[in-house]
């Protein structure tokens, strides 16, 4: 098993559109054999959240306010490759991609494939 972690830079004022984009991809990944662990977006201005630098004073800093993450897993590279091939032909994928291309809700992303450490 491995998990794909994607770090997005959300466009200012486009969080609602990003949420719609996320919901579309959660369903697509689940439909084609993945386990989606969710999208994680910046808190709303009225939400009370902890200080992100509290654990190691002087080392930690707050991430930029426009950062969001997605995490999803596949049981194998073969299953991921099947997902990539199948989702490319899916009408929901084509619609989500067209909506994004018409009005991009993020300006960039970084993708990592990670393997878990369990106790």
What does the domain layout of the chain look like in residue ranges?
A: 2-43+64-114
Question: Which pLDDT belongs to residue 38?
Answer: 97
Model pTM score: 0.88
Q: 46: Cβ–Cβ under 8 A, 6 or more apart, which residues? A: none
Length of the chain: 119
Across the range 16-35, mean pLDDT stands at: 96
Q: For residue 84, with 0-12 CB atoms within 10 Å meaning exposed, 13-18 middle and 19 or more buried, which class applies?
A: exposed
pLDDT of residue 101: 95
Give pLDDT, residue 45: 65
Confidence of residue 81 (pLDDT cuts 50, 70, 90): very high
| Alpha carbons within 13 A on the beta-carbon side of 78 | 0
Q: What is the pLDDT of residue 82?
A: 97
**Sheet-wide strand order for 2-10:** 35-40, 67-74, 2-10, 106-114
Q: What is the pLDDT of residue 57?
A: 76
> What are the CA-CA distances from residue 71 to residues 2, 22, 64, 89 (Å)?
10, 11, 19, 22
| Averaged pLDDT of the chain | 92
Q: Which CATH topology does 2-43+64-114 take?
A: Alpha-Beta Plaits (3.30.70)
């Amino acid at each position: 098993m491995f998990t794909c972690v994607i770090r997005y830079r959300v466009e200012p004022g486009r969080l609602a559109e990003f949420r719609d984009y996320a919901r579309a991809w959660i369903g697509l990944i689940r439909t084609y054999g993945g386990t989606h662990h969710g999208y994680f977006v910046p808190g709303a201005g009225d939400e009370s959240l902890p200080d992100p630098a509290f654990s190691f004073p002087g080392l930690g800093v707050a991430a930029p306010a426009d950062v969001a993450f997605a995490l999803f897993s596949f049981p194998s590279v073969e299953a991921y490759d099947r997902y990539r091939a199948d989702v490319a032909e899916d009408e929901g994928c084509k619609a989500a991609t067209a909506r994004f291309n018409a009005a991009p809700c993020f300006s960039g992303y970084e993708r990592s494939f990670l393997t878990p450490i369990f106790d």
